[in-house]
Amino acid sequence: MEPRNNPNPASGDDTEIVSRRIERLSLHLNPIPRTLPDGDRQIGMATCARPKLEVDTGKLSGYMRGPHRDVQEKVFEYFESRPELQTPLEISKNDHRELCWRQLVGLVREAGIKPFRYVADDPAKYFAILEAIGSVDMSLGIKMGVQYSLWGGSVINLGTQKHKDKYFDGIDNLDYPGCFAMTELHHGSNVQALQTTATFDPITDEFIINTPNDGAIKWWIGNAAVHGKFASVFARLMLPSHDPKAVSDMGVHAFIVPIRHLDTHETLPGVEIHDCGQKVGLNGVDNGALRFNSVRIPRDNLLNRFGDVSRDGKYTSSLPTVNKRFAATLGELVGGRVGLAYSSVAVLKLAGTIAIRYSLLRQQFGPPSKPEVSILDYQSHQHKLMPMLASTYAFHFATSYLVEKYAEMKRTHDEQLVGDVHALSAGLKAYVTSYTARSLNVCRESCGGHGYAAVNRFGTLRNDHDIFQTFEGDNTVLLQQVAGDLLKRYQEKFQGGALTVTWNYLRESMNSYLSQPNPVTARWEGEDHLRDPKFQLDAFRYRTSRLLQSVAVRLRKHSTTLGGFGAWNRCLNHLLTLAESHIETVILAKFIEAVQNCPDPSARSALKLVCDLYALDRIWNDIGTYRNVDYVAPNKAKAIHKLAEYLSFQVRNVARELVDAFDLPDNVTRAPIAMQSGAYSQYTNYVGF
């Protein structure tokens, strides 16, 4: 077996080593010539030397949208043919809820699009449908997600065959509209501390569902206020013990609890339902609160994939501990996070399309005695929108990869893959939704006063999307999960353990990336070098590795005086930065792969341009980190900044083609200022001229 490190370099090929060192020294003394504009030359002037990149929008769009384009078109065509089902600009909460229900019923029963059958068997197709539906009305997308991914997903993922046989068809055709009742008034993120109880009664062979106090009221439950007939209720499973006054707590399990009569829709005895009322956004979703007062359900209503109770009250499970059962239960519910990350990218595409199309059309000021210029020709406007456009492409490929790994996980049930998808979905959901939330404000501001008009959609998009940062896991909590997983992998690495695919780079990085930065490469500033994917990915990985190593040292240091919890809290901001850095590294790696795998040369060139902008903009935004450890010399930092600005200008030149590749026609964007033809006439017609 060959040793990892050769302690005696001289024992190798001396001639090759000497030649390599001479080559590095010559590059240090005579660096690669710069191809960037120098001195006082403006970035935009450099474009004179290069022709505009020709982009085949059709080829790029085909590569982006993948194999499920047809079903998305079917969604768009259905709502285009049914104007009475399109959400009007001004609508009351109650009317919006009823419209949202009619939209979902029409989609399933009239258009014949039945997403539930794809939740387990073809997740990529399910998420493609979800993306299209969210573009029609985000409330409808969430309503669909509650019905099929959460309520339906809990039945098929946490239940067994008897539950699928009994409930699948009713969930699929909307005869059984349902809820996902996990969150309580006092507990959202800390699911293990839920207080609702499900106590087994061996005499009647039933579970008794109880809300022990006001803090245990199920809160923010989608579909509960108006339409739901069932709920997957997460409660502590309590079993009688030998002591008649005591019970055994087996941890949190899920139970199917009917909440309304199937025929009359009346609230069932013992169930109390209240409306959570008007929200900041998503008012087409009927969120409600549920309280249970000794509600009895059959023993078979326990979703018993990971734990079961026999007729005589004996508990059995293939998993030995409460923590393992809890982890397995939550692991089966990561589809919600995958869907939110994927849907958030769709929102970013929509907002970016509106803002960029408007910015290309809108003209303000210009040189003396010359026509006014497009506001996207201003460097400040490019700085706002072009890195965001690059990020949209990056997130598209990263979340597509996440969907692919999630589908593989559902197919294989591979234990390592389950852990990988859990952490990756947490990180991407947190990172992407936070970025999109910030970007929606940027898009609105980029469109000036017209962006403030409700008809141009930014207000609705911003309000509807805002909660993406909270549900399915608060973003700050999810990033801590990513950081915790990285620290676990870090420890396993030094114990010789295997690393899953997403974390594989840490195997090399903790050795090679944490060595002293090379003083030669730290000064290289040529465009070919800066646009080399290896340089870009190495820089991202180096940053993550340094953050990981340094936070591990800090945690060890503070644990001796503050304990584990106190040390974690003391290092919390450091840990969040580590998690974000790791997710950015994964995003870039997947973007680079997507560029390399693109079969069409025109589309590949466009993606390479956008990928380079994404990478260099991120490096520049965190240039202080690289400068602090001399990973990047001052001259190289300046070159990175100049090249990022230059690439931003180049992306501006093909911005129309890049947003058109998202393939969002006028009937999807529905914003007059973004209409591809006659935008101003559309806008003036809207206000009554």
Identity of the amino acid at 86: Q
Q: Does residue 345 contact residue 399 with C-beta atoms inside 8 Å? A: yes
Rounded Cα distance between 686 and 317, Å, is 62
**Cα separation of 149 and 123, whole Å?**
10
Q: Is 183 annotated as a binding residue?
A: yes
Q: Which one, of 530, 498, 348, lies nearest residue 435 by Cα?
A: 348
Among candidates 232, 626, 583, 236, which has minimal Cα distance to 426? 583
What separation in angstroms does the CA of 198 have from each of 207, 256, 257, 273, 654? 6, 11, 11, 18, 59
Instruction: Look at phi and psi of residue 6 and say left if phi exceeds 0, alpha if psi is from -120 to 50, else beta.
Output: beta
CA proximity to 68, closest of 428, 474, 407, 521: 407
Closest CA to 337 of 170, 477, 172, 448: 477
Compute the distance between CA of residue 524 and CA of residue 522 in angstroms, rounded to an integer. 6
Catalytic residue check, 110: no
- Rg (alpha carbons) of the chain, rounded to whole number: 28
For residues 533 and 615, what is the distance between their CA atoms, to the nearest angstrom? 9
Q: Which two tokens stand for residue 170?
A: 């009713």
C-beta neighbour count of 88 within 10 angstroms: 10
Query: In angstroms, what CA-CA distances link 77 with 83, 136, 568, 616?
Result: 11, 11, 51, 40
Catalytic residue among 184, 206, 472, 645: 472
Angstrom distance (rounded) from CA 58 to CA 55: 9
CA–centroid distance for 560 within its chain: 36
Q: How many whole angstroms separate alpha carbon 372 and alpha carbon 366?
A: 5
Q: Tell me if 116 sits within 8 A of 122, measured CB to CB.
A: no
Binding residues: 183, 222
The residues annotated as belonging to the active site are 472
Binding residues for FAD: 183, 222
